[in-house]
Amino acid sequence: MTSIKKSIERTGSVSGEDMLNSIKVKLRSEMEGNLGEVPQFMLKAEFVTIRPALLAHKDESRTMSEVLRDTILDERLRAKRNKSKPEKMLVAVTPDYVALVSRENGQVLQRIARHYVEEVCIDTKLQPPSLAFCHHNKRLGIDYINVFDVKSKYADPFELAIEETRSYNRSHRESKISTAALGLPERLIGTELGTFLGSRPVSKKTGNAACEAAVMALRRKNKNRNKGLLATIAVHSDSISYAETMSDDILFEGHIKDVTFVTVLDEGQPEEIFAFIESDDRLDTITCHLFLCEKGYADKICTFVSRALQQMRELQERKADDPFFPDTINMAPEPVTGLLGAAQVPRDDLSALKVLGAGQFGTVYMATLAQDDADEDQTVAVKMLRTESSNADADEFRYECEVMVQLQHTNVVKLVGVCFEHRPWLCVLEIMPYGDLRKVLQTCASKNLHLTLVERLNFIKQTLAGMEYIASQGFVHMDLAARNVLLGENNLTKIADFGIAHKVDPQTQKFRLTGHLRLAVRWMAPETLGGKRIYFSEKTDVYSFGVFMWEVFESGELPFGHLKSRAARDEIRAGLILSQPDDCPDDVFDFMLQAWHKEPEQRPSFSTFHDAISNIYAQELDKGPPRDVGAELNALLTQNMRRMSTKASVVRRKSGTRRISESAVKQRQFSSDLSTMREEDEEGEQSLAEQGMGFGVPDEDGDDAKVTRRNSPRHRTVSSSSATVEAAASAFSSNQLVRRESQDLDLSLFEQVDA
């Protein structure tokens, strides 16, 4: 701090200490509450834009500074062309963060851990001078470039103020195992910005007509012409995701194999619509996601998806039909000690059946775990850590496994075992076939399956039992939400995702947050959203549980969905709570209000909460039992899973259960094909096709996959089914051309979000 002051004074452009002190005095009360720390330095700036970037893929002939300078020029030209009005901001540098703060209302618009700030570039030749810095987003695996107009006198002091972060520059990448050295493709294929308009259920997996119908449905729904969210769309070799740009809240994340169609609507207009359709076999849903993009951007995203499908096929061939095969060539065995030492399971006993999805660390598979009696083989879910993951990701992956091995309860997802001796690391979990409860609730609403009170209370009661147990073991979950509660057969619910769970201090029964964590503000208690010292406890989890209850009664709607994350954060701190859902009885809503009490000490414990809800549930149960909600949504799912598991067991008995060498793997007579197990008997294939649902279903037109291209060089349509990616890759290579008329859509309904 002292050296920074002296350095600023030596520049002669500002009186360092006087400037720092005056800013601190003027903004101390406002900033300290929002940032939790007194800023070391602030500068006034006009925020031009934030752009996602592929800095890891940049041309090696250019330095990062040159990339930033080019971005400054491009974004200033774009802002001038679009007549964008810059937003007045303060850029505050604290010991731990770089924060972007609105000069109009003092809201913290974005907070970036300083060790993720990788490069600063200042161009004083421009008028006004411009400053750009890039930072890494660990969750999405991408970089952002922030561009500002500043006064010359602020430029050099800002660079000095974050000079100490230079030693951390790009540390997250330097710790990564080189993907090139392993012969693996880069995971991030491309990223772009778009305004997220919304998502709607559709009836078909392919076709512009389905996407146009979704646009019309959103138009009818959006009568108030609410602004969309500025979102970052990221396409990886195994997944597609999008997140709110300024807050990094992930809005959707799915496996690339679930994308059945992508297209550009209203092509050639100043603003185009990028649309993609994804199919969820577990819940038998088809959903179209829509984004408003600048001209040309939508087509770039379509190209990214095409490349992802191509890489997926290549990776499938490389893995020799076994994604769990250990990397014994590039890495020596790693010793496994501590809590996970006794949790090891033989990698040879795992056989992949189907891709379930993709997450932060890698692909999630449905698999079988061999038992001594083949008839007792266990169906499991396997989370993979990518071979090329950073050391930080590996630590987080290991930590979550260590937490889960300590928790054994009916309503907590069970850790079956781990495989950590070789990469890729595997985390083997009991399988919950219907996925996360939020999507289940949304699917019920879209299919007009009205849940009864006893069914909703059943989800709530079981989750309460799990949280009561977690609290009794001295843990705080810190990320309780419907998306982190999973649904199994017979309405069994289990709590998952312990990546940020922590042990509380035995004396205070609290956990003090001292580092940097990405937390979902819409579920957070107000006392955890600001201040010098932030503590989490059972009572903060109780607050989150109240929001979870609200989700259950509101069919998985986003809490405070009318607010952007940064506005929701400030409103929650000010005391805003959610309103009573229409289907929620007064006595149940009273418990939500207790959970949201401003004073943490006044909130009930999970034990008290559980007893009270159990009493209400018992009364409702007398009126009739709950249905099996998962089975109501997809009655054939469990049957198909059992068929696949049985098939794998038969194949294993024929080929032997132990993996002796890579050649032995290639001799297996079945293939996971990265998305579904190939049925070897024609009768089985015909049965699935006739059912029209479940795993491995072809598209309505009977084609597994296709890629078509309009006569326009920019307009591309990529289609694939969840059954296979080989046909998609083949069609992509052949560049099959198809003529199709473009339809202009009325976009006046949707308003572009200011950056």
Query: Are residues 110 and 100 in contact, defined by beta-carbon separation less than 8 angstroms?
Result: yes
Specify the amino acid at residue 150: V
In order of 234, 275, 303, 632, the CA distances from 266 in angstroms are: 22, 11, 17, 38
Distance, CA of 128 to chain centre: 37
CB-based contacts of 452, cutoff 8 Å, min separation 6 = 624, 626, 627
**Measured at the alpha carbon of residue 194, what is the angle toward residues 188 and 196, in degrees to the nearest 5?**
110
Q: What are phi and psi of 142, to 5 degrees?
A: -130, 170
Burial of 582 (0-12, 13-18, 19+ CB in 10 A): exposed
CA atoms within 13 A on the CB side of 669: 14
Burial of 325 (0-12, 13-18, 19+ CB in 10 A): middle
In the beta sheet, which residues pair with residue 235?
A: 190, 240
DSSP string, 250-317: EEEEEEGGGEEEEEEESTTSSEEEEEEEEEETTTTEEEEEEEEEETTHHHHHHHHHHHHHHHHHHHHH
Helix (H) or strand (E) holding 210: helix 208-221
CA atoms within 13 A on the CB side of 559: 29
Specify the amino acid at residue 349: D
Provide the Cα torsion 197, 263, 245, 195; round to 10°. Answer: -30
Across the beta sheet with 426-430, what order do the strands follow? Answer: 350-358, 363-369, 378-384, 426-430, 415-419
Helix (H) or strand (E) holding 616: helix 606-621
Number of residues in the chain: 755
Q: What are phi and psi of 741, to 5 degrees?
A: -75, 140
- How many CB atoms are located within 10 Å of the residue 623 CB? 9
What is the 8-class DSSP label of residue 371? -
- The label of the residue with tokens 């998952």 reads 496
Across the beta sheet with 239-244, what order do the strands follow? Answer: 250-255, 239-244, 229-236, 188-201, 285-294, 271-280, 259-265, 716-720, 705-709
510 is in an annotated binding site: no
- The label of the residue with tokens 């950590």 reads 420
Give me the numbers of helices (H) and strands (E) for the chain, helices first please: 20, 27
In order of 202, 263, 280, 410, the CA distances from 260 in angstroms are: 12, 11, 10, 36
- The label of the residue with tokens 């630590």 reads 395
Q: How far apart are CA 385 and CA 363, in angstroms?
A: 8
Q: How far apart are CA 137 and CA 145, in angstroms?
A: 11
Q: How far apart are CA 110 and CA 98, in angstroms?
A: 8
Query: Are residues 340 and 418 in contact, defined by beta-carbon separation less than 8 angstroms?
Result: yes
Radius of gyration over alpha carbons of the chain, in Å?
26
Q: How far apart are CA 657 and CA 661, in angstroms?
A: 12
The two tokens of residue 2 are 């002292």
In order of 100, 489, 506, the CA distances from 46 in angstroms are: 11, 54, 47
CB-based contacts of 686, cutoff 8 Å, min separation 6 = none
Binding-site residue positions for ATP: 383
Binding-site residue positions: 383
